[in-house]
Amino acid sequence: MARERRIGDLVSPERADRAHVEAAAYTAFQSRFNLDDSAEAVVLYLAGLHTGDLPSRTIRDRLTYIDLDRRLRGLRPWNQDPDVKVFLKGLFSERPVGDGKTHYAPLYLELTHALVDAARTPSDDQRRGEAALMLRTRLKMTNIAICRLKWSDVWLGKDRVEITETRRMGVGEARRITHRLNSERGSATCPVAMIRVLRSVGGGEYVLGIDGRQYVANRLARLLAQPDPSAPYPAQIRDPALMLMAYGAGMRTAEASTLRQRDVERHDKGLVISIDGRKRLTFLPSAPDPAYDPALAWEDWLDVLEERGLRAPDGLAFMPSNHAVVYPKPLRSNALNRIVHDRTEEAGLDGRYVFISLRAGMIRTALRNDAKSYAIASHADLVTLGAVARHERRENLLGDGNVAGRLGL
């Protein structure tokens, strides 16, 4: 009791009040889950705070206040408990087990395919342009009328869509005209599908809206002035080729940035790539599914370069682009990382992904498929088998998402 009074005399009232508040929050957590006051309960409470994305330092501070409340009550602080010490060690570890440089997640084969699918998915503007072109062609609607069209003017059924438009003919009174468009199941130009998909683009009350606001008529005019408003942008063709080839060859960031068109040759069973700095040629076999065939994706990208006068043996293999424009300069490391980051977000993947995640994913997929270590090292241009062994340890330790690995223990 004497020690408790001495501690109480040294603690300011504000700090003691904060300790009571934090202790009350911990007690409420115990009650909610019917837990005893134990080290296990404390670890579960702190782990819950960590899952809520609180900084590690903030979580440690909260434990400090909980321990202060315990000291003021004459109890032993939790930070001296062995289990809590182990948890704090993992909480403040910056890198998970076996990862000496980074803790970026690998992009396994199936995840790389998900990124390719995301890259080929039409953008919101492409969907708007496709629907607007259909409305202008079939219903003779003006750009202004299309931009003003609201969901309250649209009735969507399984077999048809009805669109009510207000038209003014000369100086006469405005008339409301209802158009009916029947479904064309199995067709890429089905009007019902074109209109229905716009529900998810965030237009609010407007069918073609952006962030709840009406689409600008001048912007729509520029969109429809393109030969094919729904045609894929160069990046939607470049990125599948880039990711499939980078994954298949286990490319490093610098290797993809400096790769030239002459370095990639078409083979009857895939691609043969001469990567600068590697002693051996890299062979990429064709995939069973044409959608994920690196050779076909490369041919599609070469067609884009041909259309823009950028196809040349000494030309860069991959270049940055903006909408329909391709710039004849290299993709730097930050641009390559951004491509992978954006595509993983579009694919709905959680985790930290950068360009070398493709290389790590290839190695880890090969290990998962029981490929020989020497074959993996040769294909990925690894100097020693020890590098493969490190990937194997990470795969075994972290592949199942175990708690110790995620905490960095």
Spans of all domains in the chain: 2-91, 109-117+233-407, 123-224
187 phi, psi to nearest 5 deg: -105, 145
Q: How far is CA 320 from the centre of its chain?
A: 19
Q: Residue 407's pLDDT is what?
A: 41
- 55 residue type, one letter: P
Q: Residue 399's pLDDT is what?
A: 53
Q: Residue 385's pLDDT is what?
A: 84
Residues 6+ apart with CB under 8 A from 20: 69
Q: What is the pTM of this model?
A: 0.67
Q: How far apart are CA 89 and CA 91, in angstroms?
A: 5
Q: Is 130 helix (H, G, I), strand (E, B) or coil?
A: helix
Q: Residue 154's pLDDT is what?
A: 93
Residues of the chain with pLDDT under 50: 1-2, 94-102, 401-409
Q: Residue 205's pLDDT is what?
A: 92
| Residue 284 token pair | 């990429």
Q: How far apart are CA 129 and CA 233, in angstroms?
A: 13
CB atoms closer than 10 angstroms to residue 226: 13
CATH architecture of 2-91: Orthogonal Bundle (1.10)
Indicate the helix (H) or strand (E) that contains 154.
strand 154-156
Q: Residue 292's pLDDT is what?
A: 97
| Residue 267 token pair | 């083979």
Angle subtended at Cα 60 by Cα 56 and Cα 65, rounded to the nearest 5 degrees: 150
Fold of the CATH domain 109-117+233-407: hpI Integrase; Chain A (1.10.443)
Q: Residue 329's pLDDT is what?
A: 95
Residue labelled with tokens 């330790």: 397
Q: Do the domains at 2-91 and 109-117+233-407 have one common CATH topology?
A: no
Angle subtended at Cα 97 by Cα 95 and Cα 100, rounded to the nearest 5 degrees: 60
